[in-house]
Amino acid sequence: MPALRAENWPNWRGPNLNGSTSEKGLPTSFSKTENVLWVAQLPGPGASTPAVWEDSVFLTSVDDSLGGVVAIKLDRKTGKEVWRKKFAEGTFVDDRSNFASPSPVTDGKAVYFFAGSGDLVCFDMDGKEIWSRNIQSDYGEFAFNWTFSSSPLLFGGKLYLQILQRNKPARDRGKEGAESFLLAMDPATGKELWRHVRPSDAVEESLEAFSTPIPFTHEGREMIAIAGGDCLTAHDPADGKEIWRWGTWNPKRVEHWRLVPSPVYGQGVVLVCAPKGEPIFAVKAGGKGKLSDTALAWKNDSKGITSDVPTPLFYKGRFYVLDGNGKFINCLNPETGQPIWSERLDAKTKFEASPTGADGRVYLMNHLGEVFVLAAGDKFEILYRTVMGEDQSTNLRTPIVPAQNHLFIRTDDKLYCIGS
């Protein structure tokens, strides 16, 4: 067995903010009964990815009995509930998702929860509320066709949240002239440090993005990448000012191209996925100002190399792009964008959960809870497959989390902790 290496998973894309971790010694086989350390019963569904910090596991869930969203802390060793706090009113505004979709983020001192209702709250590790606020109350009702679900980002001593929305009402929600923006807050108080308005030439639903801002460091400079509104932008973490902008994947300004996948940085490029089966683009990370297509390191429009929902994984020098609708998984060379391999998975339904990488493996789970474990590397190999979903599972979207020598797998109303 490889030497054990335990890492935290403090936010929805993990310690490296690209879906990967250096975890080793994870179990090679598992099921709903094999290598299960514990199963936690949750009050309801949710797509939020668990945040794991040492012996604490944090996640959100809808609780219909309370009519809202609850923040939950579990003991990582036992799965026992340490505390549960209701922090948001309401559960959904459409039939595709619910308010428990944004993922929590923690630094081991405090934990931050956000809900699709706009409620944002900070608890200490013992569940004491430090501060709370509602983003809709403070900046206006969200103008989204679907349920807003970007996750907060904790980086460099600031708490960030992006709101990329329509500039007019959507389904009678929002207002004329609504602005898209990146918000930076003081993590200790929740107070605004600055708000950077992010303009866009996109129209209607194409202004909407459900992505999360992703920080990266290129040639010694820290930046935050934001994808949505038909363009990719890089911002200064200190004040939010735009460093560079590339776009568009939507030259005809199609009106219904909302964006879901977050950007991902790897080997000098920022990868962004156009929606609705359109291509993927790699933008050179060191630009300045408004960039032309000469700033593209490459573009790949091959069949199956696309992603409408899952955020790509960068792991061990390779991009892994999951075409959830077509069920293709692709391993790409980051320098050229060419596939090292591209294979269609024998799965019963589509994938919307983002792939994660650990211990030399790539973990995937689809709507039914079918799990595929692949070898990470230049040869396609399915190492293991199992089913973690229940008979009623139809809409599982949470990535598998490798942390602290365990795998955390969320189904409809359960969280499995897998270990050996």
Q: Which of 197, 195, 141 is nearest to 168 (CA)?
A: 141
| CA separation for the pair 59, 165 (Å, rounded) | 25
Residue bearing tokens 């509930």: 81
**Overall number of domains in the chain:** 1
Q: Can you read off the two tokens belonging to residue 396?
A: 């599982």
Give the contacts of 165 (CB within 8 A, at least 6 positions apart): 142, 143, 144, 148, 174, 178, 180, 207, 208
Please answer whether residues 195 and 185 qualify as being in contact, where contact means their C-beta atoms are separated by less than 8 angstroms: no
Residue bearing tokens 């200790």: 188
| ∠ Cα 36 96 184 (to 5°) | 85
Please answer whether residues 331 and 318 qualify as being in contact, where contact means their C-beta atoms are separated by less than 8 angstroms: yes
pLDDT for position 285: 98
pLDDT for position 1: 44
Bridge partners, 323 (sequence order): 328
Give the contacts of 62 (CB within 8 A, at least 6 positions apart): 43, 44, 45, 46, 68, 69, 70, 91, 92, 98, 99, 100
Residue 293 CB burial class (10 angstroms; 0-12, 13-18, ≥19): exposed
- Whether 369 is in a domain gets the answer yes
The DSSP element (H or E) to which 74 belongs, if any, is strand 68-75
- Whether 158 is in a domain gets the answer no
- Whether 139 is in a domain gets the answer no
Query: Taking the C-alpha atoms of 195, 272, 211 and 209 in order, what is their torsion angle to the nearest 10 degrees?
Result: 80
Q: Which of 316, 346, 19 is nearest to 329 (CA)?
A: 346
Q: How many CA atoms lie within 13 A of 207 on its CB side?
A: 24
Positions of the chain with pLDDT lower than 50, given as ranges: 1-2
Residue 318 region by backbone torsions, left for phi larger than 0, else alpha for psi between -120 and 50, else beta: beta
Please answer whether residues 223 and 234 qualify as being in contact, where contact means their C-beta atoms are separated by less than 8 angstroms: yes
- Whether 81 is in a domain gets the answer no
- Whether 136 is in a domain gets the answer no
Q: Specify the CATH number for the domain of residue 27.
A: 2.40.128.630
* Rounded alpha-carbon distances, angstroms, from residue 54 to 7, 219, 403: 8, 31, 9
Query: What φ, ψ does residue 241 adopt, rounded to 5°?
Result: -65, 145
Residue bearing tokens 């699709």: 116
Domain range spanning residue 31? 1-43+302-420
Indicate the pTM of the whole model: 0.97
- Whether 389 is in a domain gets the answer yes
Three-state DSSP state, 285: coil
- Whether 48 is in a domain gets the answer no
Q: How many CA atoms lie within 13 A of 15 on its CB side?
A: 16
